[in-house]
Structure 1
Amino acid sequence: MSSERRTVKTYVPAAQKHEWERHAEELGMSQSEFVKTMVQAGRRGFTLQDPNNPPKASSDGSNPRGNVLEERIERALAEGPRSWDDLIDEVRGDLEDRLDSALDALQDRNRVRYSGRDGGYVLIDE
């Protein structure tokens, strides 16, 4: 599988997006990771564990999201061998998706705005 990444966009009703956000959060996933996982699960004909009974996070408290990075690496390697650079790209893409989602949420709550004049994102004072 190529490590080249491409953007895929889709438009869904607001209620559906909200449901996906909630479910992704329950599973400790970014929206991007959730959608990719759901699409792959559907294509392969298997299902994820019941979201009402998620697996116990293997966290000692110092990492409240458990071993999400390790799980992400395992999923990538399940598709076949990956180089160091491929794995970096896989993790970097997820971080970029999470950053994008967080900025969207902050902008929706009027906490952050993009200012070309200031050269980037700025915090909005309350």
Structure 2
Amino acid sequence: MGLFVLMSTDFANDRGLSPSEGVYLLYAFSVTDIIFRPLGGLLIDSKIMSLESVMLFGFLIQGLAFELLAWFTAQYAMLLASILMGTTCGSRMALQTPALVKDFGIQKIADHIRKLVVLRWNAVNASTSACR
């Protein structure tokens, strides 16, 4: 999501859009992101789509949106890409943790997070002691 916020304004500037026109890309992204956060879960809870299909379609549509953003120079096409990016980010953002738990189980994820915390703590201690 942060990548898109940076890229959209940069692409708008590269394509000759003024900053006052480029800001609409961020508005479209933000509005659709907020709208589709609960709708992704609603699609899964109502059994219209599975968790995997929402994630799959999200990644496919996001790839299409990046292609639109890269190839087209018109403001309406960039606005469409921004809407698609907001849709995919919003629908997948809250579903990453349930997808990992479904695939690997809660205990394995907790064990891996614990190991990562210990490794990070060791790295921070090693870097601070090396700076002394």
Greater helix percent: which structure? 2
The answer to whether TM tops 0.5 is no
Larger Rg: 2
Greater strand percent: which structure? 1
TM-score normalised per structure 2: 0.31
